[in-house]
Structure 1
Amino acid sequence: MKDVPGALANAAKVLANANINIKTGSSFYVNEHPNAGVWSCFVDVSRATKSLDDIKKELKELDVVLEVILKEPKPAPFESIHFPVLHGNTRAVIMPIGAFWALWDGFERILKHSGLSAVLYDAGKKTGEHAAKRLKEIFGLSDKGLIQALSQAGQATGWAITEFRQVDFKRCTATIIVKDCFEAAAWRKKPYAVCHWTRGYLAGYMSTVFSNPVEAMETKCIAKGDKYCEFRVQRKI
């Protein structure tokens, strides 16, 4: 679909005129077509007054439509046209929370809690450092901009709702509140704090923000009954 005002409205009007109900939909860009966008939607055609072939023909006749793909979601209602899934320009994989629990629980049986916590923390730290550096490189962000971007990204990716409190750039310290953290949700109930990957991610990310190496400690955790997860960031000793 051409990247022009009214393109989406014109396409939707064709469906509405045929009594086709749009249930869900999203529009986005793809790298292969820099001057166009993609509109993907689930539609209910049970009461349609026109055939799908006629609908496809009418859509393709619109000067704003470049291509039309119709695919019946059977046997299950999955959107399978757009592969691979992208997070920005990077390939992404969608995993349910339960899959993380099964993965980490299996590792913990082998490595024990102390071993797994060290592995997850180190992996999270490297990931956080990389993410912050990429945001700096792509969007030219620094300091407060990077902090705001982390909060945005956390919600956009389903990771958590992140709030920064008491950020001190001179001392390289911060208190970070993480609500609905996916890691705590995956581990369910534990007698101890469990968000080691998140803790590492925040340490790596904030090391880039402060331009100084820092560590992160989890002082509250949803998995052990707290209302939210809390992390204290301080300069690495």
Structure 2
Amino acid sequence: MKTRNLMSFVKMLASGQIKSEDGIFTIGGRRQLIVNFETFRVMMDEMSNQLGGNVKAVYRIGKAGGKAFGEIGEQFVIDKETFLSEILELTSFSGWGNFTVEDFDEVNGRAIIKCENSVFADRQGTEPACHVTRGLVAGVCSYLFKQDVDAIETTCAAKGDQFCTFKIMKLGDFPEKDKPLVAAQI
């Protein structure tokens, strides 16, 4: 675990932003749930099976969750790029992978986010696998940018890449070279 993740957690705990009492765990006043990886994996596999393996539907579920996650930022008075970095740091601390913001353009509603050790990239395949995470970052960015943006996964550790990369922008702004990924993922 990187020290910066632990320090952010400790700061939030010390300031009362993280609490656990009477069976209720909250971060920023919002109730949270801690689930072990195996349980989460079984739940996600079953959801995917129930949806017929529809990666676009899984993405949309993640995106809805990301928008809700982004709402946490309303109570913090920090710039949007810092908030995105902080929320991704919390996500990293929670075990989803190690996230970094590689590019952030609030004016044009674009971002590139890198993830090492993605929770969904533990199974090898030929296609990107991090559909919930892709949705999550698209939802958070949609909330922050105050406009609907989408995300494609351009590299994925599950298919042998070194890490996962999520390119985020408005659907109509993806360049021609990304159109096959857009068609397959969104």
Tell me if 1:148 matches 2:148: no
Q: Distance in 2 between matches of 1:208 and 1:111?
A: 26
Q: Distance in 2 between matches of 1:152 and 1:225?
A: 24
Q: Match for 1:184 among 96, 104, 121?
A: 121
SS of structure 1 residue aligned to 2:147: coil
TM-score by length of 2: 0.72
Structure-to-structure mapping, 1:1-237, within 5 angstroms: 84=23, 86-88=25-27, 89-113=29-53, 115=54, 117-135=55-73, 137-185=74-122, 188-237=123-172
Is the helix fraction higher in 1 or 2? 2
Q: Distance in 1 between matches of 2:80 and 2:101?
A: 12
| Code of the aligned partner of 1:130 | A
Q: Distance in 1 between matches of 2:24 and 2:119?
A: 20
| Code of the aligned partner of 1:226 | D
TM-score by length of 1: 0.58
1:193 touches 1:220 (CA, 8 Å); kept in 2? yes
Q: Distance in 2 between matches of 1:224 and 1:87?
A: 35
In structure 1, stretches of 5+ residues that fail to align are: 1-27, 32-37, 39-80
Q: Distance in 1 between matches of 2:156 and 2:108?
A: 25
| Code of the aligned partner of 1:220 | T
Q: Distance in 2 between matches of 1:94 and 1:230?
A: 25
In structure 2, stretches of 5+ residues that fail to align are: 1-12, 173-186
For the pair shown, which has the larger CA radius of gyration, 1 or 2? 1
| Code of the aligned partner of 1:96 | N
Query: Percent same amino acid among aligned pairs?
Result: 24
SS of structure 2 residue aligned to 1:184: coil
- Tell me what 1:51 maps to: none
**Using a 3 Å threshold, how does the CA distance of structure 1 residues 101 and 189 change in structure 2: closer, same or farther?**
farther
Q: Distance in 2 between matches of 1:111 and 1:212?
A: 27
Q: Distance in 2 between matches of 1:205 and 1:221?
A: 20
1:132 touches 1:146 (CA, 8 Å); kept in 2? no
**Using a 3 Å threshold, how does the CA distance of structure 1 residues 211 and 90 change in structure 2: closer, same or farther?**
closer
**Using a 3 Å threshold, how does the CA distance of structure 1 residues 227 and 85 change in structure 2: closer, same or farther?**
farther
2:100 touches 2:114 (CA, 8 Å); kept in 1? yes
1:82 Cα shift? 6.2
1:171 Cα shift? 2.3
Pairwise CA RMSD of aligned residues? 2.6
Q: Distance in 2 between matches of 1:172 and 1:155?
A: 23
2:156 touches 2:165 (CA, 8 Å); kept in 1? yes
